[in-house]
Amino acid sequence: MFTGIVQGVATVSALDERAGLTSVELAFPDGFGAGLEIGASVAVDGVCLTVTARARATAARFDVMQQSLALTTLAALRVGSRVNVERAARDGAEIGGHPLSGHVDGMGRIVQVRTPENNRVLRIALAPPLVRYVFAKGYIAVNGCSLTAAEVDRRDGWFEVWLIPETLRTTTFADKHEGDALNIEIERQTQVFVDTVREAIDERLGALAPLLERWLREHGASLDDVARPAALPPVRPAGG
């Protein structure tokens, strides 16, 4: 498990493409690799990877399977690429963000970048099967970083996050631009709640459920709005 609080930015120092997987060597920031053993888990841009070799104290190798390459942004890594990294949470660790599994649900894509004073705003397009689980003031993990969704437009399929200077300093988000892909992990409790409510509506309404959904769409809403969690997590400063 991870906390969604990025602990540093690592750099790809070597790539070795083999049948069915790619071996990636990451050079870590100072102190990150201390005590990191083979078999340990590290979130790399939000993807849980296992340490397979330690060539030196400041670097480690990871094997990325073909499925992970197909479903995440890791397929685009090149020597020199920068990635967010976080080590697995220890028992009793403070959860400064929200619990993450490191299992990416899909990719979003930046469709707009705004830079109001002392902030950077990313508008991220997301496919309908995933955007249904994103709510304003709710949690979302982007490239392994726990963030708060500031605005959500489910009809057009996007959400926005506001990034404070500290988040930009400690992550790779300052490097991101329109068109860039990002790894997305949705918040699991929200997913369970939404799915449970939708299944209950389908079970109780039966053939009437599609009619209700059409009526809601005509009035600017959806079943996802009806299934909105009653008690979302406390609001945190976006990007903190």
Question: For 128, how many CA atoms within 13 A lie in the half-sphere containing its CB?
Answer: 5
Q: What is the CATH number of the domain that holds 208?
A: 2.40.30.20
Residues 117, 200 within the same domain: yes
Give the number of other CB atoms < 10 A from CB of residue 219.
Answer: 8
Same domain, 66 and 175: no
**Which pLDDT value is given to residue 229?**
60
Q: What is the mean pLDDT of the chain?
A: 87
CA distance 22 to 65: 7
The answer to whether residue 50 sits within a structural domain is yes
Domain final residue, candidates 56, 87, 118: 87
Helix (H) or strand (E) holding 61: strand 59-65
In tens, the pLDDT along 200-210 reads: 766 666 666 67
Judge whether 217 and 224 are in contact, CB under 8 Å.
no
In angstroms, the CA 180 to CA 112 distance is: 10
pLDDT of the residue at 198: 72
The tally of domains found in the chain comes to 2
**Domain containing residue 51:** 8-87
User: Does residue 46 have a pLDDT over 50?
Assistant: yes
Q: Is residue 171 part of a domain?
A: yes
List the beta bridge partners of residue 125.
109, 158
Residue whose entry in the numeric block shows the structure tokens 């708060």: 148
238 belongs to a structural domain: no
Could you tell me if 115 and 59 lie in one domain? Answer: no
Contact 171, 145 (CB under 8 A): yes
